[in-house]
Amino acid sequence: MDGRTWPHDSARRFALAAAAACLASGVGCYHYAPVPVDALAPAMTVKLELSAVAVDRLRHGPDSVARLVDGFTLSGTVARLNADSVVVSVPTSYMEANVRLKTQLHDVALLRTDVQRVSQRRLDRARTTWVSAGIGVVAVASTVAVLNGGGKSKGSIPKPVDPPESRAPVTPGLTAP
């Protein structure tokens, strides 16, 4: 730019700040916390890091199970626990008749020795509070800016003035000067 400030620059900066706040709110509220393998319980949503042997066994198994592993991680919900094994339900989504999205659960049986690390998804209350407060500040500031005329639009365009009318009486046979 050439150094001049345009009236819509402040509005653009404000819109970018609002977009950044929205992105932060979508990302910032959850984190994965490590959990001991012995502390697993049914219905826990977990991310498992598997050993190379387990990944190799799953990749050479049925195709539907091989697609569930992402690198060395497997994400899902603990379905059952046995003394030496863990069964994890992994959700997958697919389109049913190209109309609606349907979720199907695949049960994956793993030995406890195949699980290297376990992480559980938890809500980060402090970060959620700060993100919510930031979104509130952005919402209030944007409302105040718009109500004070800080936006680019200042209302509707005024109606143009009607052209003047000629009120000279028309008489037959005479021409107008």
Taking 80 as the threshold, does the pLDDT of residue 149 lie above it? no
Please tell me the distance from the alpha carbon of residue 112 to that of residue 50, in angstroms, as a whole number.
Answer: 10
Task: Give, in order, the Cα–Cα distances in Å from 153 to each of 4, 6, 8, 141, 146.
Answer: 20, 14, 10, 17, 9
What pLDDT sits at residue 132?
83
Q: For the residues 152-174, what does the mean pLDDT come to? A: 70
Please tell me the distance from the alpha carbon of residue 121 to that of residue 118, in angstroms, as a whole number.
Answer: 10
**φ, ψ dihedrals at 91, nearest 5°:** -80, 140
Q: Global pTM?
A: 0.56
What pLDDT sits at residue 11?
67
Strand order in the sheet with 115-123: 30-35, 115-123, 45-50, 73-81, 85-96, 100-111
Q: For the residues 4-30, what does the mean pLDDT come to? A: 64
Question: Coil, strand or helix: which one is 113?
Answer: helix
Q: In the structure, what pLDDT confidence band is assigned to residue 2 with cuts at 50, 70 and 90?
A: very low
Please tell me the distance from the alpha carbon of residue 38 to that of residue 102, in angstroms, as a whole number.
Answer: 33
